[in-house]
Structure formats: C-alpha cells, structure tokens
Structure 1
Amino acid sequence: MTRRVLVTTDYLRPGDEVDRFLREAGLETTHLPMAGRRDPARLVAALAGIEGALVANEPMSADVLARAPELRAVVRTGVGYDSIDVVAAARLGITVSNLPGVNANAVAEYTMGLLLAGARRLVQSARGVANGAWPREDGHELRGSTLGLVGYGASARAVVPLARAFGMHVVCTTGVTVRDDPAVRFVELPELLAVSDYVSVHTSLTDRTRGLLGESAFARMKPTALLVNTARGAIVDEDALAGAVRSGRIAGAALDVVREEPLPPDSPLRGVDGIVVYSHLAGQTAEARAAAGRQGAEELVAALEGRAKFAVNADLITHVRK
C-alpha cells in the first residue's frame, strides 16, 4: 500500500523538486498550502490517511494529533516548532523534527537589514516621502554601538561576524554552555539589556522565554535602544512594548514576528510611531527555502523509515506507531 504524506509549506508545490523526491521515495503527496489561519477541523480532515507531514507553522495541537491515527512523523520546514505539541506527539508515538540552522544565514542578513533600517529610520523616511513630505531626521551609525544577542543558536552565531564587520561590539546571553567565540562577550540578561544599543532576539520559545521581554526588561534598556525580534513573537510582551515605545522608555522596535500572525487589527503594536512590523520574512530567501524543502523531504523520508536525524522529541517517545 502506498504511504501518503501531506505538505502544507506554502512555497512547496506539486511537481517541484521536493515533490519529485518524495514520490521517487514511494510516497503519495497531497498539498494543502497554509496561507494565514486555518480551521483545525480542516487540518484534521487533510490528515486522514496521512502517515507523514511536511509543515509550515501549522498549529498541530494535541487534539489535532489525536485525531490523525495514521500519522507517524511531522517535519517542520524551519527551526521553530512551538506550533506543534511535541509532548502529545511523543505520547502518540509521532516523531517531530525540525531543521536546525537551515535558514541561519538568511536570518542573520535580515537581522542586519532591520538594524540598518531602524538605525537610519528608513521605513519612516520612505513613508514620509510617500505621504508628500521630505523627512530629514538624523539617523545613527552602527559602528561603535553594542549589539546584544538574546540566544546563541545558529542564527545568532551567524549574526556575529556581520555585526563585527560593521564595527559593532557584541554581547550575548545564553544557556548554552559552550561559549568559544572570542568576538562575543557573554553576560547575563540584565547586563545585556543595560549596555546594548540594539537588542536582537534569537532564542526559542519555551515556558521560560515566553514573555521574557516585558515591562521590567524594557525598564533596564537604554532610552535610545532598538529591539529586533526575528525569533518568536510571544517572547515579547506586546502590550508592554507598545507602552515602552509610546512613553519613550525605549526608542523603537523592528519585529519580524508577532504573537498572532497575521497581525490582527486590534494589535497594540498598530499605530505606534517607532514600531515597525514585518511579515515573518527572516528565513524566506530562495536559497533558504530550497534548502529547507530539500532537507525537510529527506528528514521526512528518514523519519518514516525510523531513522529521523533531527527529532526534537526522540527522548520522550516510548513507542513508535507502526
């Protein structure tokens, strides 16, 4: 019997390289691109008879997973996997994999783009010109400033040489025990917040990091500081951030990710001068997408054969679905 797999990542299409690879591996593919929010019932229906899934930020809750009795492996075409209940998956014998570092270069370059845009107020300038004005406010140079990295994963490590090339000093706070980068000074979070001109978030979303940057964190930052987030929106308390920027407690924020995507009409981030929200594009380059699709397909085939390389819940699984 042919095994069936579901592909929801929106840039993967029937007949492309990934689709051909999966079919050559003996799998029957079904594509249901995720574009915005999706009713969980529709996802459950799509998972009927599916053994493996190659997914975007699909919200795969415990309820959804429990209602997909044939599902054996889920692979995220990216790094973050907080949209998947990995504990529930493990309990059901489903492996969940991500692709660590697959888009690190893309995220690092994008981070530098946000830093430059924020330092020189490029979005505000372009907006002003579009509205008939001719803004001429001073910006700031990155050279000589301090960049604080929250997290030391692949994307943060890729940022370091780029920031150093711009003449920035780099500090970092992390729980990683191996800290062998002489270009980085490792500090605790309170010191990082106090000394940084730019704070860039690169940590994963966990119970510990949810709401990590809130009112008390913003109170420690310089009033001239800019917050950049390319990690996960829920790491930042958005109400506290909006209040901090409105009051001048910090200068502004460039956010590629937000708590709820797409950004809802009633978000506290809307209409705040100094806060610019982008549409989750940090890892979206042609090169990163090609790598993610290819590596994701390889991991899915491997997982279905019981040899997943990047399973994030392997240590929790006590049985594997047959």
Structure 2
Amino acid sequence: MPQVLCTALNTESGPHFPLLRQAGFDVTVAENPRSLFQPDILVKTAREVDAVIAGSEPWPRQVIEQLPRLRVLSRTGVGYDAIDLAACDDHKVVVATTPGVNHHAVAEHTLALLMGVARGFPERDQGVRSGHWVRVSTPRVMGRTLGLVGLGRIGQAVATRAIGLGMQVIAYDPFPNTLFAQQWKIELLPLDDLLSRSDYVSLHLPATADTKHLMNASRLARMKPGSVLINTARGVLVDEAALNDALRSGHLRGAGLDVFETEPLPLDSPLLQRENVLLSGHVAGLDDESQHDTLTMAADTIIQLSRGGWPEERIRNLSGIRDWKW
C-alpha cells in the first residue's frame, strides 16, 4: 500500500484523510512538525513514504537524495522556495502547490497586522496586562496610503479590502495586472516611488534571487518617515537587521510580520524586544476554509498523479520531470 506522510497538520482530521484512504493510500501524520526543520529528523520520518503533504519545513538536497522512495511533494500553499527543485528534478520528485486557495486568508491576516500596528495593539495589550493603560492617539487608517509590493492574487485581495476601509492603494509589480489596477483605480509606480509615498507598505512577492533582501537598509530608508512595514509573503524579502535598525531609530513607526528569515524566529532576535512590532508564526494563509481547501487539493494532486493524471497548473517543476512515472 502506498504511503503518504502529512507534515502540514499533526492531527488525524481533515478532508485529506478520507480522500487518500478511499484511494488506497495509508496516511500518517508527523507528531511534531516543527522538529522536521532538522534534516536528520525529516529523513528518518519520511524514509518509507511515497508522497508528502508538506508544510513549510525545508526540503534541501541532502534530504531529497536520502529518500529514494519519494515520488511527490504536494505543498499546502503557493510558496515552494523551501524545496530544492533541482534536487527534486534529479531524483524525479514532483513538486506541487495549491494555487488559488488561501489568498483570502492571507489578505485578512495582512489587514489584521496592519490594523494592529496602526492602533498600537502590541503596546496597548502589554500596558493593560501590566496595569498601565496607554492613552496615546494614533493616525487613522482611513485616508492613508497603502503601497502594495506585488499585485498578484493576494495583493489584489488586500487591495479590494483596503479600498473598502477608505485607504488609497498604490502598487508596484514587475508584471502588473493593468486591467485590475484600472478597474480599482490603483496607481502603478516604480518601487522607490511607492516607498516614499506610502504610509503602509505590504509585501506580496515570491522569494527569488531577485527579491532576497528587497527591503534592505537602502530601501527601508526610502520609506516615508513614520510608516509601517507589513510582511506576509516570505521572510527573505526583508533584511531583518536593517529593519530592526529602522525601528530602533524611529524611522519606521512599526512592523507587522508573519514570516522571517529564519523560521521559527530565534528567541534571541531583537525583533522580539520591539514593542512596536506585531508578530505571528507563518500562519497568514491558515484559516478553516483555506486549510480545508489546501488539504483537499494537496491530496487530490497525489491521487491524480498516482492514477496517471497530470494536474499541470499545480506542478512547479514541469520541465525537470517530464518523463516522471509513479
């Protein structure tokens, strides 16, 4: 019986279990998904499986090459920068994602972080807990400018919600959807112009060689004094040391971060000491509906591939595995 390991969820619940079992798979879960960030534990856990419904744990070459039985990595979500595609090509492992499923969840989380930082929730929460009620006014969000760095499916979902809050939305995207921008009256700008005009900057680009440390010290300095940075995309987009400096100096009023350069965020990170930073642990894309739909799609991908199907729109290493067989 083919074996499927689920590292994306550590409970035996969810729609993927009956789907896979009815299709003839034996399904197990990783008891401690966070431990799988250690390569040796990941290899030991996945050594006897044919397919994985993967979470955000890294899949480097040193892991892939020790798993000769592995045929499919079906990732919950749209990011796959933690997976070594070249290694998967070499070892004939299909890498798939679940596009078009979690953008509403990410958009809501993005605005939750934005509103939380805008209203000073980190400081106010700590103040109440320590018996000191902080009564300091904050700028109203309505009427402020939100700069979206990336106007894909998630950026668009953020844009429509922000416009509903009365914000002015501007955007940068290397390959913009001009029709959407025109429909919603979103001005498209070069990145540096966007940074200098935005009260809030929200990142929605994938992790690539070109976007690593996109927000470095130079670009953070170009941001409007007193502005706020939100990142629900990928941690490597932001130089965290430079961000900490910008927050410490007061150049930036705050930040809302769901993703980090190193995950989990090290406990010695200076960002943990910043009262003007609101943090969450790479969960922006996770709500009840998106979890159900991503797990369903991830399982369906494995089932289709096992039956000779080829869900091309979900596969991320097409060119390297054209001669792939289960």
Shorter-chain TM band? over 0.9
Change (3 A) 1:166 1:157: same
Q: Quick check: 2:14–2:292 contact (8 Å CA) kept in 1? A: no
Structure 1 segments unaligned to the other structure (5+ residues): none
> How far apart are 1:318 and its partner, in Å?
4.7
Task: Check if 1:149 corresponds to 2:148.
Answer: yes
The letter for the 2-side match of 1:84 is I
Aligned to 2:319: 315
- Identity of aligned pairs, percent? 36
CA distance in 1, matches of 2:14, 2:106: 24
CA distance in 1, matches of 2:86, 2:285: 26
Q: How does 1:248-267 map to 2 (within 5 A)?
A: 248-267=250-269
CA distance in 1, matches of 2:125, 2:50: 48
Deviations 1:42-61 (CA, angstroms, capped at 9, x unpaired): 22122223211111012111
CA distance in 1, matches of 2:13, 2:195: 48
Task: Check if 1:171 corresponds to 2:170.
Answer: yes
Aligned to 1:296: 298
Deviations 1:226-275 (CA, angstroms, capped at 9, x unpaired): 00011111110000000011111211111111112222122131212322
Q: Quick check: 1:73–1:304 contact (8 Å CA) kept in 2? A: no
Which of 174, 190, 193 matches 2:192?
Answer: 190
Q: Quick check: 1:152–1:202 contact (8 Å CA) kept in 2? A: yes
The letter for the 2-side match of 1:43 is L
CA distance in 2, matches of 1:222, 1:17: 45
Runs of 4+ with deviation above 4 angstroms: none
> How far apart are 1:105 and its partner, in Å?
0.6
- The number of equivalent residue pairs is 320
Matched residue of 2:33: which SS? coil
Aligned to 1:160: 159
Task: Check if 1:60 corresponds to 2:59.
Answer: yes
Which of 208, 215, 218 matches 2:217?
Answer: 215
Q: Quick check: 2:77–2:102 contact (8 Å CA) kept in 1? A: yes
The letter for the 2-side match of 1:24 is Q
Q: Quick check: 1:18–1:294 contact (8 Å CA) kept in 2? A: yes
The letter for the 2-side match of 1:142 is V
TM normalised by structure 2 equals 0.93
TM normalised by structure 1 equals 0.95
Matched residue of 2:139: which SS? coil
CA distance in 1, matches of 2:96, 2:250: 42
Aligned to 1:74: 73
CA distance in 1, matches of 2:59, 2:158: 31
Change (3 A) 1:33 1:180: farther
Range with bigger deviation, 302-311 or 73-82 = 302-311
Matched residue of 1:63: which SS? helix
Aligned to 1:27: 25
- Report which of the two has the higher share of helix: 2
